[in-house]
Amino acid sequence: MTESIEKVLRKTPLFANLTEAEMRALASRVIRKRLKQGEPLFAEGDPCAGMFLVASGKIRIFKLSPSGREQVLAMESAGSSIAELPVFDGGNYPAAASAWEDSEILFISRKDFQNFCREHPDVALKVIAVVGSRLRRLVGIIEELSFTTVRERLIALILELAEAGGTPSEEGIQLELTKSHQELAAELGTVRELISRNLSRLQAEGFLEVAGHRLLVKDLARLKCELASGQ
């Protein structure tokens, strides 16, 4: 069942503390939109029409190189806001966004959101906090791409997945990759061939067993040591 616009707004940190009257006033300015998996929300360089809130599903934020290589910057889920910065600085959307899965989003026009922030300075302060958090995350991505190898980034991701959702067994930690090699490459800032090559190498070295999307981390502690030795 689709939630009301006011309920979605209430779950978004930017607007969680609004009064009922303020919430109704804002909800009256919001447009609801549904996206199918893979459907674009906006393209990099498009003029900024306004900001978006994720009501359900996941929205992928990414950049494309001139050659078509993709770098995923973020995956935004329910409760997240998108494109706050260009609403204020007057620039175009600095990255592209599309639906990772069937999603529902709310749209607030640039003019309406600016006027709302003038009336509610505390919302503007929360926007600054969100933008600051995004900046820190982007700095982290830059550091990873600049100072770590594809092998190290892949190992770090496997360790994260194993510790977050892996299933212990007598042979080690079992986990399933929900993303294709192409999608992993976009997330880790490389190309599909290097993902496949590094997975094969880790298997040959005895760290993993790979069977399609299923991985078996044979020795978690040893894999952690391998990552630490390369950093």
pLDDT, tens digit, 9 for 90 and up, residues 48-58? 999 999 999 99
Length of the chain: 231
Q: Which letter does DSSP use for residue 73 in this model?
A: E
Q: How many degrees, rounded to 5, is the angle at CA 98 between CA 94 and CA 104?
A: 120
Residue 20, pLDDT > 90, answer no
Q: Per residue in 177-196, pLDDT tens?
A: 888 888 888 888 888 889 99
Residue 79, pLDDT > 80, answer yes
Listed residues 131, 146, 161: the one ending a domain: 146
Same domain for 36 and 82, yes or no, is: yes
How many domains does the chain contain in total?
2
Q: Per residue in 111-149, pLDDT tens?
A: 998 888 888 888 878 878 887 888 888 788 777 777 889
What pLDDT does 97 receive? 95
Please, are residues 32 and 104 in contact by the beta-carbon 8 Å criterion? yes
Which two tokens mark 161?
């997945």
Listed residues 146, 171, 196: the one ending a domain: 146
Same domain for 171 and 84, yes or no, is: no
Q: Per residue in 190-217, pLDDT tens?
A: 888 899 999 999 999 999 998 888 889 9
Same domain for 40 and 56, yes or no, is: yes
Which two tokens mark 59?
């929205």
Same domain for 72 and 107, yes or no, is: yes
Listed residues 109, 124, 146: the one ending a domain: 146
CATH number of the domain bearing residue 176? 1.10.10.10
Among the listed residues 104, 16, 97, 10, the one whose alpha carbon sits nearest the alpha carbon of residue 55: 104
